[in-house]
Chains A and B, each alone.
Chain A
Amino acid sequence: MINWKVILNIAKTHLMTKMKSTVTAALGVTFGIGAYITLVSFMTGLNEMLDSLILNQTPHIHLYNEIKPTEQQPISLYDEFKNSVHIVHSIKPKQSQKKIHNALPILNYLKNNKKVKGATPQLRTQIFYLSGSIELGGNLVGIDIMEETRISNMRDYIIGGSPEALKNAENGILLGSGLAAKMSLTVGDRVQISTVRGDVFPLKIVGIYQSGIADIDNIQSFANLKTVQRILGEAQNYITDINIKLFAIEKAPTIAQNLASQFKVTATDINQANAQFETGSNIRNLITYAVSITLLIVAGFGIYNILNMLIYEKMKDIAILKATGFSGRDVQLIFMSQAMIIGAIGGILGLIIGYGLSRLIDNVAFETEALPTITTYPISYNIAYYVIGITFALLSTFVAGWLPSNKAKRIDPVRIIRGT
């Protein structure tokens, strides 16, 4: 039977009379946990921001028709040359259209699919922006603006005007911010564009688009799908790309494969397109945890040291307790509970300090061209980090307390009392 009241009372008295050591040990844990919480919140916030910068603009699955040579050249169909080396010079891409064959039925199919959050048609084409006698090369993307804003955070990247304005304007354009700067144009102005074939169209600027990635903002603009189809003189089913957002991003690779074989289109999934971002996030996480664990191990050694010293100091007390009927386990529990009290108090303080520092960082101004929606440093508040933090605090103090307290458990009272 364990008499917790007595054990905790003794532990408390030991801690109170050794206030300095107690505070030092607890502060070690506090700094470890506080630094962990701050680091992990900041790092994750940063990761999420960087991920969203790229990933939100990248569809989970991208369908298009790739221009490439036929995989089966006529010679490989010929049985007589089966066992020979085939050498064919000057292979040309297969003659095919840029548009996706049967795009409208595919869209329909996707919109009825339960795993798909949304699918938007796009028509990408090369154009020239005309500014006086200067022609700037670029892209014009015809989109379904309302659907696009529903499934991606495109709205955040429209810094002047609004998506609704584009929807309502027959000849509207969302001009890339880099282009707008180059040509000194703003919302309400007109810009002339020219197709590859040389037809010139005037379009009204209803908004400015800034993705934060200069290479895109310098060449890309958006217009309504129908507008672009009309500019190109193509029919309503002329769609070159379909962007798909899924409910579960992990399923992207398998669904992409299915779609590719089902509709004979090229389908790339987000993992293929953005493998390097995953790597970046992982490495940043690794650094965060390595630093935090190092801090906590240092804190753990602090606790180990202080308890060890305490036990040497309390040798006589331990002998007395044992002589008057406290068992080895009681003595161990006394020192273990001291370690755990230090861990719990230090850990909780650490969480509070970590949260405070996170709040502080969260309120520091951080303005960047790349991210029009972000005004302060990004912080991720995730309850899981706090749970991990306190668990780690308790775990490390438990381990740090275990060894010295085990020694206390095994102290032979006779030897101490006889003074040998």
Chain B
Amino acid sequence: MKLVLETKNINKHFRKPNDFHVLKDISFRIKKGEFTSIMGKSGSGKSTLLYILSTMDTDYTGELYLNGQLVTGKPHEELSTIRNKHIGFVFQFHYLLSEFSVLENVMLPAKKLAEKSHVEIEYGAMEKLEMLHIGHLANQRASRISGGEKQRVAIARALINNPSILMCDEPTGNLDSHNSENVFNIFKRLKEEEGLSLLVVTHDEDFAKRTDRIIQMEDGRIIS
């Protein structure tokens, strides 16, 4: 089975205010099409790990492979392109650009990638929005829609460049149970229908239990 993500002995220290060993020898693999969740208490280092995996945090030791390619040590410009093309990201707080319309928010990463024409991008973005049942919001301002809708827009944006892996930081942490259920179903469908790999950091045990695999973390180590 092909690997999407692999880490070898990742260690990270927070140096301020005093030295703190957050991640200790993290090594694991995620196969293509796998729906994985990372669980652990606050302070166990799961979010920190996710940001390293997302290539946004480069201050660590060890090796990170994406699609079999070593990512560690690449210059920032290149990492931006990798993020743009291969990684979709969904945050706990929906983090849309509030001055832009929903459609523009979704289109932005694809415009940055600039592999398709404007019309194709717009078509693709509409497709993603329709798939998440929010096509009717396309021309609304991003600041004018509800929290659950925002989260779905954020998912559509993360999917626009057809990434290799979707990473989510507490995607349901801020949503009520109805919307949480909704988001989970979307993820499930994406995995089953599109064969997308997912890595979700969550506190929500019910959510985690229904994923393919749970990575438990405690005090900076993977315990199961």
Contacts and interface: CB of A to CB of B under 8 A. Distances in A.
A3 B108 CA distance: 11
B100 interface: yes
Contact of B112 (A6, A14, A319, A329): A6
Contacts of B157: 324
A330 B112 contact: yes
A1 B114 CA distance: 10
A143 B100 CA distance: 80
B130 interface: no
A414 B85 contact: no
A418 interface: yes
B185 interface: no
B112 A3 contact: yes
A17 B98 CA distance: 10
Interface residues of B, number: 30
B83 A325 contact: yes
A324 B84 contact: yes
Contacts of A10: 108
B111 A5 contact: yes
Contacts of B100: 13
B165 to A, nearest CB: 14
B80 A327 contact: yes
B187 interface: no
B181 interface: no
B95 interface: yes
A113 to B, nearest CB: 66
A13 B99 contact: yes
B80 A17 contact: no
B57 A325 contact: no
Interface string A313-356: 00011011111111111100000000000000000000000000
Contact of B95 (A320, A325, A330): A320
Interface in A372-418: 413-414, 417-418
Nearest to A18: B99
Given A322-B80, A324-B108, A325-B161, 7 more contacts: A13-B100, A324-B158, A325-B84, A413-B56, A417-B91, A417-B95, A418-B47
Interface of A: 1, 3, 5-6, 9-10, 13-14, 17, 316-317, 319-330, 413-414, 417-418
8 contacts: A5-B111, A6-B111, A316-B95, A319-B95, A323-B56, A324-B84, A325-B85, A418-B51
